[in-house]
Amino acid sequence: MVAKNYYFVEGFVETSAGRVTRVATKLAWPDFFGKLRARLGLRRDSYLVSPGLYCVGQPDHQSPVLVTANYKLTFDALRSQLGGLDAWILVLDTFGVNVWCAAGKKNFSTRELVRRIELCGLSEIVSHRRLILPQLGAPGVAAHQVKKESGFEVKWGPIRAADLKKYLADGLQATPVMREVTFSLSERMVLVPVELTILLKPSFYVLALVLLLSGIGPDFFSVSRAWGRGSAAFGAYGLGVLAGAGLVPLLLPWIPGRQFFLKGIEMGVLVVTGAFLLWGKMIGSGLESLALISFVIAVSSYTAMNFTGATPFTSLSGVEKEMRQGLPVQIAALVVAIVGWLASPFF
């Protein structure tokens, strides 16, 4: 009965509202591969589980109901923390997006929660009227509204699934630490591969454009010049990405300044300095150097600014404000880079 695709299904529990799928609380190899793939940003949007009711252990009508999103990574993060517990898991349809982002987009929502409670016949399965929701679901779910529409009381659980056992053991009390988001080095590190994957497609366009512009000279176009100068320019692009999408996320709290476009410029200057110390002699005229440096700065500043979308502390108002200052700087740097690069073969 257990299909191969559903390796995480351990069995079924019979209830008055039908059979409920019991899932494993230990992750298996396919979960780790899936996690790796999602963290690399590959086919992330189809990494999901069916919405509905699941359970762990042998829950009964008094067992707690934990609510989550149907992103497989989220579902796994939750169930892997539930070893030894008997609990129901109500998975909302968030189109394969995590709780916080889905709540922001109003997919992890009051309406979806109330609808899902009815669809699953939850009030026939449990005798209590209490749901435990992850705190980060709060932008999308209005607790008082859920109570009014479904009769279920929403209890805001901890932000991290790892704190759930303690929260349950303490009688649904969360400590202040459980209620505050963090952005540690490891939490920032796992975001870097996705940032790079997102840049993969645009990078091909950059490469094509860079080769085209690098070949132009007094003799109209030269393939050898396109290769030679093109690889230098594409190398500069790579350094910019390294600085903006790599160093900025990793070194974030230690880079002076609050605005991300400035942090990007700082890291751009850092890698340019490093590159000059390593390969300084390889770069040609002053104009060419100026163009390459400007290119690195433009790319590092922009990619750093784009990282604001992945942090848990930047406000949209703030990002819009810094973009009004950052974009003109980045465009100016890009113009200097292109003009300098095009002009240098003529001198």
Partner 1 sequence: MKNFRYMAGVAILKLEADKCIGCGACETVCPHRVWKVEGRQAVIVDYDGCMECGACATNCPVAAITVNPDDGCGCAAYIIQKWLKGEGSEACCGSNCC
Contact residues for partner 1, defined by CB under 8 A: 41, 44-45, 95-98, 100-101, 103-106, 135-136, 138-144, 156, 159, 176, 179-183, 194, 198, 252-253, 258-259, 302, 305-323, 327
Residue 336: CB minimum distance to partner 1, A: 20
Q: Give the separation between CA 25 and CA 132, rounded to whole angstroms.
A: 18
CA distances from 205 to 109, 200, 299 (A): 39, 9, 14
Nearer of residues 234 and 302 to partner 1, judged by Cβ = 302
Q: Which residue has the tokens 């999901």?
A: 48
Nearer of residues 79 and 188 to partner 1, judged by Cβ = 188
Nearer of residues 147 and 165 to partner 1, judged by Cβ = 147
Residue 87: CB minimum distance to partner 1, A: 21
Nearer of residues 15 and 259 to partner 1, judged by Cβ = 259
**CB contact at 8 A, 229 and 297:** no
Nearer of residues 77 and 323 to partner 1, judged by Cβ = 323
Nearer of residues 8 and 108 to partner 1, judged by Cβ = 108
Pairing of strands 130-134, 153-157: parallel
Residue 238: CB minimum distance to partner 1, A: 20
Residue 100: CB minimum distance to partner 1, A: 8
Count of C-beta atoms within a 10 Å radius of residue 2: 12
Residue 332: CB minimum distance to partner 1, A: 16
Residue 290: CB minimum distance to partner 1, A: 25
